[in-house]
Amino acid sequence: MEGMRLGILTSGGDAPGLNAVIRGAVLTGERTAGHSFVGFRNGWQGVVEDDTMPLSRHQVKGINKLGGTIIGTSRTNPYEHGGAERVKEVLAKNEVDALIVVGGEGSLAGAQELYKDGVPIIGVPKTIDNDLGGTDYTFGFDTAVGIATEAMDRLRTTGESHSRCMVAEVMGRHVGWIALHSGLAVGAHLILIPERKTSMDEITHYVKGAYDRGRAPLVVVAEGFQLASMDTVHSELGLDEAGRPRLGGIANLLAPLIDEATGIETRATTLGHIQRGGTPSAFDRVLATRFGMAAVHAAQASQWGHMVSVRGTDIVVVGLEEAVGSLKVVPTERYDEAALLFG
Ligand code: F6P
């Protein structure tokens, strides 16, 4: 087969490992089949605005250890800017045969629509939240968990010095995977996740229990968590480009409530985008590189409408509908297992 020209774009919130995907794809494609690559800047925005950058071996050298994405990202929805017709027009103009789209749930849902409308697309799953169906892990998650764990180890020593309760807020819009894994790693006294509404009485029970044993309680909370008394997520920052509420601040809401209910001085820390920035972990670099390589093999096999994924330790290819069909939430039994160690 003659070499193809493949477009790459990164879409949605960034995740450590995006650059390793790009490098893995470009090196594999150039070396194994003479494919050439073009980057579309800032997600779908670069496609609909025809904003490209060259992606050859030269541009991707050494980038597997860099956080962020050298081609930029956005939450632009192509269907709000001309849809499949505009995408096909720009691909034709740039002589691009097919697209590799690295994205999360929203971006891959868009990719699936475009595929149905005749655009040849391979998906690569990405999110630090690890909430995509169809794959056991997404790159970025391991890095985020590592950063959150290190930050909370630090919160514990200062909390212990002052006998305070520390509330640490981590990312996790719909799911509590980062909270669960970092909370287990750090030995938190309570983990609060979006999948499980919890009352102030329960929170007070665990915080007081830990304090009465002589510990400085550490509570990990995912940004999308809701108290049993809440009927919507805590959001004070308006909506993002995709029309979703901007999250962040639930720890600030909880800390005074815990202080008041327990009489224990309580402080809140929101880790925010620190979890998404910076150097990817070795695990994420390897996973992302393998995803990039597999995406090129999938394109070569014309597996349009599919995405690469990891099952156990194997990289496989699944239909995009598996990723966008359902969120991968924390199963009840996984949370209950962790809860045995609360308090
Ligand atoms: O989806 C990944 C994520 O990091 C969520 O955990 C978070 O709610 C969201 O992105 C934040 O996005 P932004 O950087 O656009 O505010």
Domain ranges for the chain, please list them: 5-139+280-324, 143-276
Lowest pLDDT segment from 63-72, 109-118, 157-166, 239-248: 239-248
C-alpha–C-alpha distance, residues 133 and 17, integer Å = 19
| Ligand 1 pocket check for 212: Cβ under 6 Å | no
Cβ–ligand 1 contact at 127 (below 6 Å): yes
Q: Which atom of ligand 1 is nearest to the CA of 178?
A: 6
Q: What residues are designated binding site?
A: 13, 75-76, 104-107, 127-129, 164, 171-173, 223, 267, 273-276
Residue nearest to atom 13 of ligand 1 (CA): 13
What's the per-residue H, E or C state across 27-61?
HHHHHHHCCEEEEECCCHHHHHCCCEEEECCCCCC
* Number of residues that make up the chain: 343
In this structure, the residue with its CA closest to atom 3 of ligand 1 is 13
CA 72 vs CA 75, 134, 161, 231: distances in Å? 11, 25, 42, 35
**Average of per-residue pLDDT across 54-76:** 97
Predicted confidence (pLDDT) per residue in 210-253, tens digit: 999 999 999 999 999 999 999 999 999 999 988 899 999 999 99
Q: Structurally, what CATH architecture does the domain formed by 143-276 represent? A: 3-Layer(aba) Sandwich (3.40)
Q: Are 219 and 250 in contact (CB under 8 A)?
A: no
How far is residue 6 from each of residues 19, 27, 159, 237, measured CA to CA in Å? 16, 12, 51, 38
Return d(Cα 258, Cα 262) in angstroms, integer: 6
pLDDT in tens, 80-120: 999 999 999 999 999 999 999 999 999 999 999 999 999 99
| Atom of ligand 1 at shortest range from CA of 131 | 1
CATH number at 5-139+280-324: 3.40.50.450
pLDDT tens-digit map of 4-36: 999 999 999 999 999 999 999 999 999 999 999
Mean pLDDT of the chain: 97
Nearest in space to 253 (alpha carbons), one of 203, 302, 212, 206: 203
Q: At what angle do helices 250-262 and 200-212 cross, to 10 degrees?
A: 60
Give burial (CB, 10 Å; 0-12/13-18/19+) of 62. exposed
- Give per-residue pLDDT as tens, 250-308: 999 999 999 999 999 999 999 999 999 999 999 999 999 999 999 999 999 999 999 99
CA–centroid distance, 38 to ligand 1, in Å, is 26
**What number of other Cβ atoms are within 10 A of residue 248's Cβ?**
18
pLDDT at 114: 98
**To which residue do tokens 């180890």 refer?**
153
Of the pLDDT bands very low, low, confident and very high (cuts 50, 70, 90), residue 1 is low
pLDDT band at 326 (very low <50, low <70, confident <90, very high): confident
The candidate with the shortest Cα–Cα distance to 324, out of 116, 172, 103, is 103
What is the C-alpha to C-alpha distance for residues 9 and 28, in angstroms, rounded to an integer? 17
Beta strands, E only, the chain: 5-10, 36-40, 52-55, 98-103, 121-125, 165-170, 190-192, 218-222, 266-270, 306-311, 314-319
How far the first Cα of the chain sits from its last, in Å, is 61
CB 13 less than 6 A from any atom of ligand 1 = yes
Instruction: Examine domains 5-139+280-324 and 143-276 and report if their fold is the same.
Output: yes
Tokens standing for residue 87 = 């995408």
Percent of the chain topping pLDDT 90: 97
Tabulate helix, strand, coil % of the chain (nearest 5): 40, 20, 40
Q: One-letter amino acid identity for 116?
A: K
For the CA of 275, the nearest atom of ligand 1: 4
Residues taking part in catalysis: 129
